[in-house]
Structure formats: structure tokens, C-alpha cells
Structure 1
């Protein structure tokens, strides 16, 4: 792999990040509308669509497929742990930050090359999933879902850093983030409602095949369409032979990495089988709670060491750890508060997503009805929510926008609690889907602006991956127990509890937005 050249102009330091962090309502709506983002916004919408499409296909859409295949709720909940791989992407994010992708990386450039390689991997995983039947074997379905999440999360590393680098100033960041999220939310509706509609009409295999074809088409577009404005990786193919060789090398790398992941996945059950037994369900819940605390304990133990030796340590110059060291050195102990806030803020929203779609089958809605509602009203709600969330940061300030996002997301969960108590009615379904889509859109837009502003350009990919990992670690660990909780509480109480889970995080909004202001001004965070 080629070593990455500095394409951001950021050098080795961490200049002022690109996200504004107002805490009051001083920014005007007109000012938000003036940034010159040219065709980059359309490009970011396409990249957002590519990021969002695989998510539900390995998560909540897959949970409904499993429910229809007769898999019990507890096992469906455990399948949410497949997505935990996404929370470990900070471990290999520095590699994607430093090196070009093998094969096409030298032809397409740094971020663009990695995005194309990962899209090819996602497409292959979805094509494979189309030919599997969970009713005859759950393990192959789970392993291919792991493969989907691996390539999808790797793609997110490249695209997140690419999005940050494409922003020239603070005013553009909100607009580009909103454009990315419009594409992302549209893809989630396509991967959710669109796939459900196709599955109800022609079956799950054709539905997943269409999704794989869409990813392959996006890969071709990324390879053929240059980055707007001559951005990252705008490298023309010198000759057809070099282009073909690059594609063949990239395809080989994708196949080899996929084979290794599947081989490890198949070997683990065989190694564990002789041990016999297994933990009980109560032990699983307790173990998950303890496991969720380990990353925070590790971060806490590293703070004193980094504050004393970080600037002179070899770790500060290492590809693998430089981003983490810079983050801890900048925020110190207050960084733990930021990580805790990111973990709690979307807790209820993501726990619901793990098993929420099984409600549709339980109440009696058909896949065609759900797909039609989510594919139309759900898409409109998501796009509207993203727009409102993006604009609310400038209109209300980041602090009030975070509160508004948390409340609207909670309302979406409560709407599903109400739906679970009602007979199957399309209008009730439409209202619940709209409230959930709108709330999720608002909270996603605000949250991505918040996280982006905590990073520094020199380590954009690694630091954003770290923050996203903490943001989804606890929710996805607990989401694996959602089936057990659902069996104990029932749908109404389960959705009610997930609706109020994010409220404790709102108590931290004032200090975390204060840190956001200090980072944007190139200062240290508030005194500890």
C-alpha cells in the first residue's frame, strides 16, 4: 500500500476545526444559506447514500427477515451484536488515514480509492446474503452480516474523513453534513422500506440482490466521476491497462480479506464447542454491562500518562495512536465526559432500532404495507428532519439543537409504544413512522455536527472513528439484550423505556457544548 501524502493542507498540527459551535441563537438562517459548496453537496449526498444503504440490511431489516423465518426474539436481539464491529473501526482507521488503498488507491487517490474498495466489498457481501436462508442456518447469515458491517464501517472511515476535508470553512460544514445525511437517510429508507417492499413482492433474495447491485453501481460512479473541485484523490487513470490492473488487485484484496473474516467466523464456534455449556441469559446481560465499561476504564487510565508524556512519546507520532493521543492531550479528563455524552445521547434510539421492526410482524402489518409507508412517508420525514436538524444548529445554537434532537428522537420511540397498543391501522403506522423518521433525522444531523467539531483535521478519520465508536458502543452492546428485555417488558413498555433513555445525556449538554466552543476557538476545554 502506498503511504498517504498530506492532502489536507493541515500539516502535522491540528488547526481550528471546521465546525461552528454557537450555544445561543446568534447565527442567522440567511448566513447558513450563503456558503459556496458547489457540486460537493451533490457528491456528498451520493456518498451518504453509499454509507447508509448497508446499515439496515445488516441490522433492523435483517431482524424482520429473521422474525419472518421464525427466529426467536432473544436470538434476533443477539444479532445486533454483529454491528459491534462498527465500534471497533477506530482500530484500523489509522491505516486508512495513512495509506492508500491497494490497487485503485494510486489511480483514484486516498479517500476515493478506499471508498471504492469498500463499496466493492459491501456489494459482494449483499450478493452473498441474497442466497442464504436463515431458516436453514443462522450462522452463515450472521457471518455474512459481519462481513457487510466490516466493509461498511471501513467505507465510513474514508467518507467521514473525506467529508471533513472537503469543508473549506465553518459555514460550509453544516451544509455539507446535511447533504451527506440527506443521502444517508434516503439510503436507510431504501434499505429499509424499499427492501421490505421488494421482499414482500418478489422475495428476500431478489431484494438483497438489488441492494448489492446498487452498491456496485455506486462503486462504478465513484471510480468514474472525479471529486468536485479537484478534491481528494482526483487522479485520472493513466492507461486502460493500469486501470484494469488496479481494479483486479483491489478485487483480489476484497476477496482475500472477506475469506479471512469468514474463516475466522467459522472456526470460532468449532473451537468453543468442546467447552460446552454457555452462559445463562442473566449472565449475558451482566457481562454486557461490564464489557461496556471497559473502554471508558481504558480511556481513564490513559489520561494521566498522555498528559505527562503524550507530546514527547513515540505514540504521538505513531500512525495507530497519534489521533487518540492528540484527543486526550487536548481534552484531558474532560474527554471522558465527552465520550460518556456521545455514548448516552442516542442510546434509546439505537436500542429500538435493533428489534423495533419485529413489531410490524407482531401487530400484523404486511411487508408491502410497511415498505410502502417507510419508502414514501418515512423518506419525506427523514429528509425533513435532517434539514430541520442542520438548520437548527445555526438558528438555535448547538446547545438548544442537541436538546431538541434528543426530545424529538424520544417522541419517535413513544409513537411506537402507542402503535403496539393499537390494532393494525395504516394511518397509525404512517404517523409512527413519520415521527420516528423525523426525530431520527433531526438528532442525526445535530449529532454529526457536534462530533465533527470535536475532531482536528490532521487526524480527522481516526478521531471521528473513535468518537463514533464510543457513540454506538454502549447502545449496540445493550441492543443485543433488547430481545431479552422485550420478552420481559412487552412492546409498549420496551418502547417507552427506550424513549426516555437519552434524557440523562441532556444534563451534560451545557458542559459538552462549552468544550465545543473552546475547540472551535483553538483553546483548551473548560477547567477540570
Structure 2
């Protein structure tokens, strides 16, 4: 006679397993410091009356997130002598992030801005290093399609919830409690989130590279030996191109192109958008189990592009808040689904021996469009206007979808091989 455990389908086992559920907590810990070294810090400096030029320079604090691939080989090669190859790095970085947040709370921007900026840089470095180790940990730990689907969904959900906490909620609390106390509360939250590291299991141990030189060279060599490697690189860069084009100037469009107020844009993006993205990430994990990776990439990729038409529609509605809510709901929910599927693909492409370096490199390729398309987008808007621009961005998804279709057999093999 079968037991209750026997009756649990594989999908449910993946959902309830400790390795997957702890990923959500670690995703939260990964996302928490980002706004606290970025938008929240800008808000603190702004209300403290600092010059705009000073605040502008402070935005460079976040460069560690762009450059993290430079020191990712260190995480592959060396292990902190605690909790295993990946979790030791994660815990060390989480404790360091909490210390930086608490340290920042002890200073006043009006007299000690340099100290806060220095701690902010340290926060960004430790946070980026946590991301390297966490991405490697979940890549090593989640080995079946079901685990990867839910793991990617819960990573996105935890990350977005953290952004809601350290971005939107922190701004609200700061009005009541002041920024120093808010940073102290965030430090406590980081410490609590580190419990996820303690309870997360270790992946099967794989021998690290023999030395640092090998840790730099071998991940690249292993990836470039992959069949159709140039096509893979093109897919990674092009898949989110339509999203990157539409988001490059989205805030400027909503404020200047349509005429929404800063409060309207901030409220809808921070709360409605993040909540929709969280729900979309979870829905993406559920759908992935039924569609599998290849059709999910195709469907979500096409849907992501079509949501750009919503922004074109806003040029006709004008500053109508319900219309903005509807557009942001669709854009962020479907974007969350696409990010979940794309995250599964990146995990499947990584070699466990070098997952820290390879995931850092692949994720850096994935954000090329988001970082560098701003000037091109501005030129197109100047030439044809906002409405035609957003219609045009729909077609920029075609190259990425074509690469998915071109690599359909390889993607299917990745999905099957990990089953």
C-alpha cells in the first residue's frame, strides 16, 4: 500500500523540499542590500540636503554589481572554512552586509558623507560577492528541471520582495523613524535572512580549480568548448533586448512623455510593479513545469515583447493612473515569468566546477542591453516619437526568439539531461 509520501508528485516534492524553499530566503538576502546602496541611499542624501552633484557621484557606488565577474574566480577557487564551498562565502558576505548597514546608520550625511559612501561601497562589494556565491550555490544545488523551475521562481520572488522592502517600505518607514533607524532595521533583517544559509543544504561537492589561474582560464575554456557557443552568447544577449529597449527610458517616458507625477510613477512602480513581478515569477515556475523550458522561453519571450505595446497605448490615454496600473501589471508579471525561464537556462548552462565564474559571466552578458541601450533608445525616440518607438521595440525581440528556435535541440537536451 502506498504511503502519503509516495502519493506526492515530483513537482510537489520539488516545491516542498528544503533545498528549494531556502532558495527563496537566500533570494531575499541577495536582493536586500541593492536599494540600500542605491535608491534608498539617494533618498537619504536628498532629504539631508546634499548637493545634486554629490548625489550623482554617489550613484557610482553600485559599480560592484557590474564588475563582480572580475573576482568571481576567487569564489570558485577558494572556500571559506565554514559551511562548505558556497555557503561559507554567502554567510560571510551576509554578516559583512549587516555590519556595513549598521555602520552606515551611525553617521550623518551632512557631516560624514565620506564615511557613509565608503561603507556603501563596501556594502555593494559584499552584496555583489554574495550574489556570486548564491548564484553558484543554487546552480549547484538545483539539478532537476522541477527544482530549477521552482528555484528560479522563488529566487526572483525573494529578490523582488527584498527590493520592495528596502526600496518602497524603507522610504515609508524613514518618514516616521528616520534613515539611521531604518538602516539598523535592515541590518537586523539581513541577519535574520542569514538563517536561510544555515538551513540550506550543501550541494554535492565538486573539486575546485587547482589554482587561481585555472579558476580564471578553465571556466572560459569549458564554456567556449560548448557546441554552438557563439549562438548561445547571442541568445543570452538578445533574449531580453525588447525589455532592455523599453526600460532604458521608461521613467523619463512616464514623467515627460506622458505627464505622470513622480508620486504616481513611484507608487505604481514600487508597489504594483514589484507585487506583479513577484506573482509573475511564481506563475512562471508553475508554468515551466507544464510547458518545459523551450516552449516557455518562446512564449514568455514573445509575451514580454508584446507588453511594450501597453506603453505605446499610454501615449494615447495620457496620464491616466488606472491605465498605468494595467500596463505595469502586465509588463512586470510577464517580465517575471520571462526572468524565471531565463534564470533556469543560465543555471542549466553552467558547469558545477566553475558555476560562480560562469554564472557571473553569463549574467553580465544578459545585462549588456540594459546598461548600454540608453543612448540608442534616446536617438530613436528623438527621430520617431514615443509611441512608434515602443511599437518598434516589439520587433527587437525577434532576434532573441530566433536564437531560441535555432538552439531548440540544445535547449531540449539541457532540459532532458538534468531530469
Q: Report the TM-score range of the alignment, normalised by the length of the smaller protein.
A: 0.7 to 0.9
Provide the alpha-carbon RMSD of the alignment: 4.3
| Structure 1 residue corresponding to 2:88, chosen from 113, 121, 136 | 113
> What is aligned with 2:182?
210
> What is aligned with 2:332?
437
Quick check: 1:387 aligned with 2:282?
yes
In the TM superposition, what are the counterparts of 1:69-148 in structure 2 within 5 Å?
A: 85-101=64-80, 106-123=81-98
Cα distance in 2 for partners of 1:64, 1:347 equals 30
How has the CA–CA distance of structure 1 residues 353 and 198 changed in structure 2, closer, same or farther, with 3 Å as cutoff?
farther
In the TM superposition, what are the counterparts of 1:60-75 in structure 2 within 5 Å?
A: none
Quick check: 1:226 aligned with 2:122?
no
Structure having the higher helix fraction is 2
Provide, for residues 120-152 of structure 1, a one-character-per-residue CA deviation record: whole Å limited to 9, x for no partner: 454566678887879x9x999998876554333
Cα distance in 1 for partners of 2:32, 2:271 equals 16
> What is aligned with 2:235?
341
> What is aligned with 2:6?
none
**Contact 1:119–1:218 (Cα < 8 Å) also in 2:** yes
Q: TM-score, normalised by structure 2?
A: 0.76
1:409 CA displacement: 2.2
Gaps of 5+ in 1: 1-29, 234-313, 524-528
Quick check: 1:53 aligned with 2:25?
no
3-state SS in 1 of match to 2:14:
coil
Cα distance in 1 for partners of 2:35, 2:392 equals 22
Equivalenced residue count is 399
> What is aligned with 1:475?
370
Quick check: 1:327 aligned with 2:306?
no
How has the CA–CA distance of structure 1 residues 415 and 397 changed in structure 2, closer, same or farther, with 3 Å as cutoff?
same
Cα distance in 2 for partners of 1:414, 1:508 equals 23
> What is aligned with 1:173?
148
Work out which structure has the larger RCO, using CA pairs closer than 8 Å and 6 or more positions apart in sequence. Answer: 1
Q: Which shifted more, 334-343 or 40-49?
A: 40-49
> What is aligned with 2:127?
152
> What is aligned with 1:285?
none
Gaps of 5+ in 2: 1-8, 205-209
| Structure 2 residue corresponding to 1:39, chosen from 3, 12, 18 | 18
In the TM superposition, what are the counterparts of 1:179-258 in structure 2 within 5 Å?
A: 179-195=154-170, 197=172, 201=175, 206=179, 210=182, 213-222=185-194, 226-228=198-200, 230-231=201-202
How has the CA–CA distance of structure 1 residues 168 and 179 changed in structure 2, closer, same or farther, with 3 Å as cutoff?
same
Q: TM-score, normalised by structure 1?
A: 0.62
